[in-house]
Structure 1
Amino acid sequence: MRRILTTTALALLLAGPAALAQTAVPGLGEMRAKELMDRDVYGTDGRIGEVEDLILDFAGARVVAVVIEVDRGLGRADRYVTVPPDRLTRAAGERRLSLGMTVAEARAMPGVNDRD
């Protein structure tokens, strides 16, 4: 997956400044993909997990969804869910991201397959 992100960055660079200007992630502003990877995601009542991947729309030069690895606790295997990028926010000066739902709501979301 990281190879896809690198390829995307190269494609956007070759497309010129206009395409790069369109890659801002709603709610997060402009960020490099590598700055978003592995960031902790917190819900309204605690830690949900971390950013695992991004789903990109090459034609529209935009991020379609953010893949979050949801901590399931108690030794159970983690699972992956996707959220629209505009659902995530980041407070100024904070490294972690916020998602406006509880940990239980995030765990109840339908999972996605995130195998490389």
Structure 2
Amino acid sequence: MPESIRHTHALVLFSGGQDSTTCLAHALARFERVETVGFDYGQRHRVELDARQAVLRELRAAFPARAARLGEDHMLDLAVLGAVSETSLTRDMAFRMEANGLPNTFVPG
């Protein structure tokens, strides 16, 4: 990449879980402005999505120097995925492997 092109903004896919929180911390250390985006596809286990705002609030409180870089949080409603697919993430069913070799936890798209 040419030296004249420097990316200063980042968008982090943020579920509120440990992996995406680590990615967010990494982005906050590298970029001037970081926004977050999450996807609500009607998942049954909403623990991470429910934790998103608490994690963001704690990051802002614990790291005020980084908090200034943390921009808007976006939550996209993708409930249509749950309506068009049958997975154990969106329906009350047990985990199993499908005939196509994918687990029924796989969410298309």
TM-score by length of 2: 0.30
Larger Rg: 2
Which protein has the bigger strand share? Answer: 1
Which protein has the bigger helix share? Answer: 2
